[in-house]
Structure 1
Amino acid sequence: MSQTIKVDTLIKTFQVPEREAGLKAAVGSLFKRKYREVEAVKKISFGIDAGEIVGFLGPNGAGKTTTLKMLAGLLFPTSGQIDVLGYEPQRREKELLRQITIVMGQRNQLMWDIPALDSFELQRAIYQIPEGEFRRMRDELIDLLNMGDLVKKPVRNLSLGERMKAEFISALLHRPKVLFLDEPTIGLDVTAQRLIREFVAAYNQRYQASVMLTSHYMADVQALCKRVIVIHHGQLLYDGGLAGLVEKFAAYKTIGVTLNDPDLDLSEYGEIISNSKGQVNLRVPKSATAQITTRLLNEVAISDLTIEDPAIDSIIEQVFQQEAQVV
């Protein structure tokens, strides 16, 4: 399968002005400014296939949004190579811009005082979409997102979830082949988040679009992405499947035990992370899971036992904590 996105040793460095506090320093900075270099992205490389949805994960300040902006041509890389659909994004060529889009949560691109429907017409003019094709795509997206007559209301009168859905319609009217989604469900309620996830999956399946998704909601990632790329401090930490992330970084497993005697103390078998009416969850080292399970079955009167990997979000948090300690 051909790759729609190729990134090779990408670096982005910003010059950040700095000065000491006080009037003297403020006056001095007018004549001679001091700068320090901040390397936001540090030699990351990856590729994304046509039709692939990839989760792009990292804590705040990891370099996710900076990377997406470079891929979309909104920022110039300091060095390294980017290829999106055979184009260099920083050149901002029309042929590429007609095939990509970027959606950033809670950053409005629609005009505030007019109906979303009118903003859609502006997008049609910008992308020079033929009238018949535009109407078919617009009506299809409105139907997929259950917007109905809401697109006739001024954008300022829409709820946050409704505005986000309208943003998606506007961003996809030109039927892009590559989607850069930066926290598209942030601030939305659970129902709206689910609808946006279902919509992204449906669009991806229907048009085989490549999608890069950043999100702090692991439900988004687990529902949409078979593969994740994890970065921290601008460096690539992991690139592979969600299951592989668990295998590589999860040092513990959770053993759930249902006791016949709810007063039994199981602290000698592992770290007790919850205990409610005889339902006990133990955190145990992955390497000792089999041994501890055998001991529990032989030494304790139990009616049920389960073994689970930790939740993906807790693993991601653990990865970042480990990296922070190294740095």
Structure 2
Amino acid sequence: MNIIEIKQLTKIYKLFEKEAGFRGSLKSLFNRKYTEKKAVSEFDLTVEKGEFIGLIGRNGAGKTTLIKMLTGIIAPSSGNLSVLGYSPNKLENEFKKRYAVVMGQKSQLFFELTPADTFILFKELYDIPDEEYRKNIEYFTELFDAAKYMNVQVRTLSLGERMKMELITALLHNPEILFLDEPTIGLDAVAQKQIRYFLKEINRTKGTTIILTSHYMEDIKSLCKRCVVIENSRKIYDGKTDILFEKFQLYKKITVSFEEETDVKLPEDFEILEKTPYKMSFIMPKEKARGIIKEFFENYKVKDIAIEEEDIGNVVERIYKEGSGSYYE
């Protein structure tokens, strides 16, 4: 069952241009110049209930604009858009009660209040029944290990702790769709890992459909079985995440430790990162990995060997560069 259907969705912004200085300001009073920018262009997308989808794209590619149209914050310029059977831009109260949105750079918490006070406020805003509210508070505070933060002012919490509270606030009314725009931005590695675990549990146990935008590709790779890549306002890929990374992840990093002093000569297409008499690290084409590892064990006294995937940042840069203007199924 499709709960989101988008056909030929387009959003065009009209941008005012003004020359610098007082003279330019005066001229703009009588002769205004505008340019048009397509933030989202002829976009098609369908989302089934319970999916966890990642949106990938550079800054300015159109990800946040798409999220804002899906939630009714801004209106599309043209095209058809349906979310849960509603037209988002009509902003019907029944529709607003069935989704939630969390933006990593914008808070919905009140910094002078405690999270417990904020939760009570949102209970009233969303008309959450007492029993449902109690059960959700118990479930989410246990899942997020958040009981110790409930009765302290939000402004005293760390960024990671506040993000947990943001997610609880968004999920209190059992939304059918959760829109997340950069929820792990600025978080340390431990906090990012915790947030990823919580989101995976919400999707699994509650069946909540989640649309996630993130520049941290580990978020996309570990959470989203399906991803959509947006480049220059257009969709250039819509399919399985593992297939996408398999296509563009071209290299592996190999680190070898030796039991004795060893000098190894590598092919020219291998990039040496570190080389000492007892250890070497290099990047190589992934299709040659099996052969080179076999050669090491047959010809050298290997103490240890580690194989790592290519840095995700390099893979994403390649997706944008090589995938631009194309569409991959």
Shared fold per TM-score greater than 0.5: yes
Number of the residue aligned with 1:316: 316
Distance 1:290 1:155 in 2: 50
Number of the residue aligned with 2:27: 28
Distance 1:251 1:149 in 2: 46
Taking structure 2 as the reference length, what is the TM-score of the superposition?
0.88
| 1:228–1:279 distance in 2 versus 1, CA, 3 Å | same
Q: Are 1:15 and 1:38, in contact at CA under 8 Å, matched by a contact in 2?
A: yes
Calculate percent identity across the aligned residue pairs.
Answer: 39
TM superposition shift of 1:195: 1.7
Read off the aligned partner of 2:316 and give its amino acid letter.
I
Number of the residue aligned with 1:9: 8
Distance 1:297 1:251 in 2: 21
Give the SS at the match of 1:152: coil
Read off the aligned partner of 1:207 and give its amino acid letter.
K
Number of the residue aligned with 1:193: 192
Number of the residue aligned with 2:209: 210
Read off the aligned partner of 2:91 and give its amino acid letter.
R
Q: Are 1:253 and 1:289, in contact at CA under 8 Å, matched by a contact in 2?
A: no
TM superposition shift of 1:269: 5.1
Distance 2:275 2:230 in 1: 35
Cα-Cα RMSD: 2.7
Matched, 1:247 2:241: no
| 1:49–1:132 distance in 2 versus 1, CA, 3 Å | same
Read off the aligned partner of 1:139 and give its amino acid letter.
E
TM superposition shift of 1:78: 1.0
Read off the aligned partner of 1:280 and give its amino acid letter.
S
Number of the residue aligned with 1:165: 164
TM superposition shift of 1:74: 0.7
Taking structure 1 as the reference length, what is the TM-score of the superposition?
0.88
| 1:268–1:74 distance in 2 versus 1, CA, 3 Å | same
Which runs of 5 or more structure 1 residues have no equivalent in the other structure? none
Measured against aligned partners, the alpha-carbon deviations of 1:75-115 in whole angstroms (never above 9, x if no partner) come to 11111122211111111122221110000013111112111
Distance 1:295 1:131 in 2: 64
Number of the residue aligned with 2:284: 283
Distance 1:178 1:309 in 2: 33
Which runs of 5 or more structure 2 residues have no equivalent in the other structure? none
Distance 1:309 1:193 in 2: 20
TM superposition shift of 1:323: 5.4
TM superposition shift of 1:273: 4.2
Q: Are 2:255 and 2:279, in contact at CA under 8 Å, matched by a contact in 1?
A: no
TM superposition shift of 1:263: 2.4
Give the aligned length: 323
Q: Within 5 Å, give how 1:28-107 maps onto structure 2.
A: 28-107=27-106
TM superposition shift of 1:58: 1.0
TM superposition shift of 1:270: 2.9
Q: Are 1:106 and 1:164, in contact at CA under 8 Å, matched by a contact in 2?
A: no
| 1:302–1:4 distance in 2 versus 1, CA, 3 Å | farther
Q: Are 1:274 and 1:282, in contact at CA under 8 Å, matched by a contact in 2?
A: no
Distance 1:59 1:269 in 2: 29
TM superposition shift of 1:148: 0.7
TM superposition shift of 1:271: 3.2
TM superposition shift of 1:180: 0.4
Give the SS at the match of 2:150: helix
Distance 1:219 1:295 in 2: 30
TM superposition shift of 1:274: 4.3
Distance 1:152 1:291 in 2: 56
Q: Are 2:15 and 2:37, in contact at CA under 8 Å, matched by a contact in 1?
A: yes
Number of the residue aligned with 2:129: 130
Distance 2:268 2:294 in 1: 11
Distance 1:298 1:11 in 2: 56
TM superposition shift of 1:244: 0.9
Distance 2:132 2:245 in 1: 44
Read off the aligned partner of 1:55 and give its amino acid letter.
G
Read off the aligned partner of 2:190 and give its amino acid letter.
T
Q: Are 1:269 and 1:292, in contact at CA under 8 Å, matched by a contact in 2?
A: no
